[in-house]
Amino acid sequence: MNFNSKNPFLNSKRFSSNAEPRTEVHQAQIIDYNQEMTVSGTINKTAILFLILCGAAMVTWWMTFNGINPILPTIGGAIVGFILVLVSSFKPQLSPYLAPGYALFEGLFIGGISAIFELKFPGIVINAVGATLVTFLVCLGLYKFRIVKVTEQFKSVVVAATLAIATYYLISWVVSMFSSWTPVHYGNSMMSIGISVFVIIIAALNLFLDFDLIEKGAREKMPKFMEWYGAMGLMITLVWLYIEFLRLLTKISSRD
């Protein structure tokens, strides 16, 4: 059985469907190295997306701390970013254009939501950023030196847990909209904090799946645009991880 990453586009089926054939006898086609996906190329694309996201985040951050309501670009950024992810999942060949757009609009969302939390809990953003960065580097090191191996069993556990979290969040959101019930992950109780810690662990484990699928894409010599596709998927996981750290630190700070 083949298990995939939680990302809607970082999955084995999507990567395999975009792989270039190694040999084409009837076309005598030669695939040049510069037309193939590489790990280093994906890393470079990820860095570009990260810079775009940070630049966009500074806009809504500046708006918030200069008395300008950031709600419209914050919510708009989240909606447009989500739409671009959906489009890219069906049209990965458009990723060189959609990925930068996603980083731009998601940056507006991240900057706005971060500024709002920072106003209420000063210093929380830098802690969330630091925790996300450290988690990413630790996971990268564990993967690079094969301390953690991405086996089929590992994938099955991570994907199952991720789907369970997504299902729980969705059901909680829908039920809370039509009733007075308060989901257990709301508030700052120890149970709520425990749930946030669990979600962060699962988000971090998804990084291993993303690393593995990007490496697999490079090994199977997929087309160059898949570097943007893979970078976009990795950014989605990092954004999810950052938001969860922000929520956890908010719960802890509100208990003081």
Kindly report, residue by residue over 168-210, the tens digit of the pLDDT: 999 998 898 888 888 888 889 999 999 999 999 999 999 999 9
Nearest alpha-carbon partner for 206 in 249, 248, 163: 163
The answer to whether 243 touches 118, Cβ cutoff 8 Å, is: no
Residues belonging to the chain: 256
- CA-wise closest residue to 103 among 61, 54, 42, 41: 54
Tell me: pLDDT of 103 over 60: yes
Phi, psi of 246 (to 5 degrees): -60, -45
Give the tokens for residue 10: 């970082």
Percent of the chain at pLDDT > 90 equals 79
What pLDDT does 29 receive? 44
Separation CA 214–CA 119 (nearest Å):
37
Is the model's pLDDT at 3 over the cut of 50? no
- Contact present, 204 and 241 (Cβ < 8 Å): yes
- Region of poorest pLDDT, from 95-109, 114-128, 182-196: 182-196
Q: What angle do CA 95, 75, 233 make, to 5 degrees?
A: 30
Task: Quote the percentage of the chain above a pLDDT of 70.
Answer: 86
For the cut 80, the answer to whether the pLDDT of residue 18 exceeds it is: no
pLDDT of residue 5: 46
Q: What is the pLDDT of residues 42-81, one digit of tens each?
A: 999 999 999 999 999 999 999 999 999 999 999 999 999 9
**C-alpha closest to that of 216 among 142, 150, 140:** 150
Rounded to whole angstroms, the Cα distance separating 172 from 206 reads 22
Owner of token pair 């962060």: 200
pLDDT at 96 over 60: yes
Q: Over the chain, what is the mean pLDDT?
A: 89
* Mean pLDDT for the stretch of residues 106-129: 97
Give pLDDT, residue 13. 56
Q: Give the model's pLDDT for residue 256.
A: 66
Q: Is the pLDDT of residue 12 over 60?
A: no
DSSP the chain: -----SSSS-SHHHHHHTPPPS--TTTT----GGGB--HHHHHHHHHHHHHHHHHHHHHHHHHHTTT---HHHHHHHHHHHHHHHHHHHH-GGGHHHHHHHHHHHHHHHHHHHHHHHHHHSTTHHHHHHHHHHHHHHHHHHHHHTTSS---HHHHHHHHHHHHHHHHHHHHHHHHHHSSS---TTSSS-HHHHHHHHHHHHHHHHHHHHHHHHHHHHHHTT-BTTHHHHHHHHHHHHHHHHHHHHHHHHHHHHHT-
- pLDDT at res. 255: 82
Q: Say how far apart CA 226 and CA 228 lie, in whole Å.
A: 5
Looking at the predicted structure, is the pLDDT value of residue 241 above 80? yes
Residue 30 — pLDDT band, cuts 50, 70, 90? Answer: very low
Per-residue pLDDT, 7: 52
